Structure 1
Amino acid sequence: MWCLSLQVLGKHGVARFSDLGASRGKDYCINISSSWTLSPLQHPNTSTVEVYDLTQSVLCSDSDVPDAGFIGRIAMVTGGNCTFYEKVHLAENNGAKGLLIFTIEDLIFPNGNTSQYEEITIPLALLSYADLLDIRTHFGDRKQVALYSPDEPDVYFSVVVIFILAVGTVVGGGYWAGVREHEKRLQGEECKTEEMSPKIISLLVASCCVWLVLLYFFYDHMVYFFIVVFCLVSPVGLYKCLWPVVCRIPVGMCRVPENMVPCLKMRPDLRMVLLAVLCASVSIIWGVFRNDNRWAWVLQDILGMAFCMYLLKLFRMPSLRACTLLLGGLLFYDVFFVFITPYFTKSGESIMAEVAGGPSVSSTQEKIPMVLKVPSLNFTAVFCSWPFLLLGLGDILLPGLLVAYCHRFDVLVQAPRVYFMASVLGYSVGLVLSFVFVLLMKSAQPALLYLVPCTLLFSLPVALWRSELKLYWNGGRFL
């Protein structure tokens, strides 16, 4: 659930600062917009321009302009008090060759009037306030800058990476579910599941709608609830995924001494305690540094993948009929909130995309953590706040329930994992289709629209071929 989208805060470029006349400098990330600027040169080997540091001013009126103007120089000013257009208009009228605006907020260009865009003939770029402090530290009063924009595709390996992560999670969770089913049957344990009625499924879909609408209207408050929930439940999934590996390590098998600590009264193995501390530490570190786009996304993806795999092992769908009803209902939910809601929102953006990436009107920089996120892995990603490719955990977990059901059904009919492999192939094809449509349409897509039909349609022919369609559809008490 959520949606598959490319979260773009603008086109990123590079500002190479150096002391006036010096050859060596330092690169900083800038946010540029073709609507506001002429395209900067493509390579750093271009002539540099002297900088006029006016960062003590916001450049909103003629009184802020120096007496001699900015003739032949790039002006540096602070954001605020007036529109970007007013700032760049003043700079251009007073001879500036470009304008750099430092801002404390995210490097996002606002909407503006098209006719105003066409009037601007000098480059305009945004830099972070943290970079301003760094520039003041490293360079003297007289400095120069070269602006350029590497000619790179929007998406390099990020699509491949998120594909591997998503499919790997589905394969891992589905395989784990089948192995657990096989072990239970070998041990003679009865595998009970309750049939999911249409009423229960309708309630699940309705609850998803309610939560999403609450998030949309009360995002600044609800987002913290989801962050806390993610921090509490994700380390459980990580622990459950790592324990089967750790338990095979013949180290730390001694039990903790007798104690009165509530969670240690049962005297668990030392390795269990250490693993629990490790998993909790990963969650805490992510919680503290979650907004550091340079590396926090790695921890978020690890926690999210582990939690999804654990849930796929834990939850047991009773039949293909239940899977179809659940996935069909949530497919409709996904499509409605991505394709239909833009007609009802003031911004014209879908509710799903707004919630997944954070509403533009939100006063907080927080993002919902229930997504896999991978940055655009290109040159500027080394030091920029990258645009992210987002895939909701629901788009892994929900089709993954069908994949897990298929592997358990393989165990039931003693098939050589044919249902499992067919469903994984279907999920992979559906994910590729969703990526293709994201890149072609340049907009968020309801991933379940592609994942659900493909996963179902790839597994059903196997049941027909093996003459097991009725058993596959009903499942019943066997699963």
Structure 2
Amino acid sequence: MEPLWKLAYLLEPASVTLILTAVAVTFGSAFRALNYGKDMERNRDLSEASITLDGSQALMIPILSSCSLLLMFYLFSSVSQLLTAFTAVASVSSLFFCLYPYVTYIRSIFGLVDPYVSRCCSKSFTRSQGILVLVCIGIVVAWLVSGHWVLNNLLGISICIAFVSHVRLPNIKICVILLVCLFVYDIFWVFFSERFFGANVMVSVATQQASNPVHTVANSLSLPGLQMITKKLELPVKIVFPRDLLGGMVPGGNTSDFMMLGLGDMAIPSMLLALVLSFDYQKSRDSTGTFDLFSSKGHKYFWYALSGYAIGLVAALAAGILTHSPQPALLYLVPATLGPIIVISWFRKELPELWEGTKSNLNDKSRLLEV
């Protein structure tokens, strides 16, 4: 156990940036999920419908995640280039999903015309969509060439936001099943996997770098500028920040090391935040016809969950500093986010409603208000 004064490392730039980024991502993911859901209700666009998990699917996620983890542990070097290619495609799609609302907003502000230019897969593409796709491809190509941690984080954040918007929890009951199972999953693979597999499986997989298929192709073709293309890539399944960011120094290794947080440690709590934000929205809409998240009135379970997430994340980082060992973040994040929601809703006698979930009225389009 390290002395308590080392908790001052939580104030280092890398730690503060990691905490603020993670909280901002969970906040943004929940709001993007809410607005995406309202868009789907308004347009009834079944082609882009999200997936709502049921109990069996929630139970299968930790099992499938464990199988994937073992596959990556034993066969990562064999499948890393395939994973990189798949990640690149997913990153383009996720970036487009995250950036397109801003393009639409800018276009509406300036009254820009956006004509249709082509059709693909039974869908029409506008000029702005085509340009945005090219921009997203350019960002992913820049990541493939440079492997820079800023681009890695950008892609990881976009994947997290897209995932939370498309995979939803219907109620707290399913949420409890999922979070408790992942709580056990995270603890086992971080603390106990070494006893069974000879190494910390979670840490080994999280710290492995993938082979860059772009470098492989360029090398086989003897293309010029090969030295500019990175051989190894950090896959955007985590956000990373250099420990010596802005001259700081968080303990954990040499200055080339990174602090990291897995996407699951943002995406899974964000699913809970998206659920309670939707509940807040529906309750406020039903009672007043409006929704003001920053008002002192209303339910605002969202703020309890977001505050709990920040506290849990700080606790996880503090435990890592004091024990000088990797920590399963969900060990701290699950109680810190789920606990306050269950306790407060129980006192307010709203737990049964949260437990079973509420269904929005798809027929009353006039009541769909933008946040």
Q: TM-score, normalised by structure 1?
A: 0.59
Confirm or deny that 1:392 pairs with 2:242: no
The C-alpha deviation readout for 1:295-343, integer Å capped at 9, x for no partner, is x110111111122112222222111010110111111111111100122
1:300 maps to which of 152, 158, 164: 152
Instruction: Tell me the CA shift for residue 177 of structure 1.
Output: 2.2
Contact 2:51 2:166 in 1 (8 A): no
Contact persistence 1:255–1:267 (CA under 8 A):
no
Q: Among residues 280, 300, 309, which one is paired with 1:427 in the alignment?
A: 309
Match of 1:108 in 2: none
CA deviations over 1:59-88 (Å, ceiling 9, x no partner)? xxxxxxxxxxxxxxxxxxxxxxxxxxxxxx
Given that 2:114 and 2:126 are in contact with CA atoms closer than 8 Å, whether structure 1 keeps it comes out as yes
Give the structure 2 partner of residue 156 of structure 1: 12
CA–CA distance in 2 between the matches of 1:474 and 1:278?
42
Residues 371 and 462 from structure 1, CA distance in 2 versus in 1: closer, same or farther, beyond 3 angstroms?
same
* Matching of residue 414 in structure 1 with residue 284 in structure 2: yes
1:83-102 pair list within 5 angstroms: none
Q: Which residue of 2 aligns with 1:330?
A: 182
Cα distance in 1 between the residues matched to 2:161 and 2:273: 12
Task: Report the Cα distance in structure 1 between the residues aligned to 2:60 and 2:139, rounded to whole angstroms.
Answer: 34
1:338 alignment partner AA:
V
Q: Secondary structure at the match of 2:125?
A: coil
For structure 1, the 5+ residue unaligned runs are 1-151, 291-295
Q: Where is the helix percentage greater, Structure 1 or Structure 2?
A: 2
The 1-side partners of 2:145 and 2:18 are apart by: 24
The residue identity in structure 2 corresponding to 1:222 is V
The AA in structure 1 aligned to 2:75 is F
Mapped contact 2:279–2:358 kept (Cα < 8 A): no
Q: Is the 1:227–1:368 Cα contact (8 Å) retained in structure 2?
A: yes
- Contact map agreement 2:30 2:164 (CA 8 A) in 1: yes
**Which runs of 5 or more structure 2 residues have no equivalent in the other structure?**
1-7, 210-230, 286-297, 362-371
Q: Which has the higher contact order (CA 8 A, sep 6+)?
A: 2
Residue 439 (1) aligns with residue 321 (2):
yes
**Higher Cα Rg: structure 1 or 2?**
1
How far 1:248 sits from its partner (Å)?
A: 2.3
1:367/1:476 CA distance change after superposition, 3 Å:
same
Given that 1:418 and 1:462 are in contact with CA atoms closer than 8 Å, whether structure 2 keeps it comes out as no
- Measure how far apart 1:181 and its partner are: 4.2
Match of 1:375 in 2: 242
SS in 2 for 1:386: coil
Q: Is the CA contact 2:152–2:235 (under 8 Å) kept in the aligned structure 1? A: no
SS in 2 for 1:414: helix
- Counterpart Cα distance in 1 of 2:102 and 2:169: 26
Identity among equivalent pairs (%): 25
Q: Distance in 2 between matches of 1:185 and 1:255?
A: 25
The answer to which structure has the higher strand fraction is 1
| Partner in structure 1 of residue 101 of structure 2 | 244
Which residue number corresponds to residue 164 of structure 2? 312
In the other structure, the counterpart of 2:202 is 352
Contact 1:355 1:368 in 2 (8 A): no
Say which is worse superposed, 391-400 or 415-424, in terms of deviation.
Answer: 415-424
Instruction: State the secondary structure of the residue aligned to 1:446.
Output: coil
1:81 is aligned to none
Deviates more, 1:264-273 or 1:226-235: 264-273
Decide whether aligned partners of structure 1 residues 264 and 334 sit closer, same or farther in structure 2, where only a CA change above 3 A counts: closer
Coordinate RMSD, CA, aligned: 3.1
The Cα offsets for residues 84-133 of structure 1, whole Å up to 9 and x where unpaired, read as xxxxxxxxxxxxxxxxxxxxxxxxxxxxxxxxxxxxxxxxxxxxxxxxxx
- The separation in 2 between residues aligned to 1:206 and 1:430, in whole angstroms, is 24
For the residue of structure 2 that corresponds to 1:248, the secondary structure is helix
Distance change (3 Å), C-alpha of 1:183 and 1:365: closer
State yes or no: 1:276 paired with 2:133.
Answer: yes
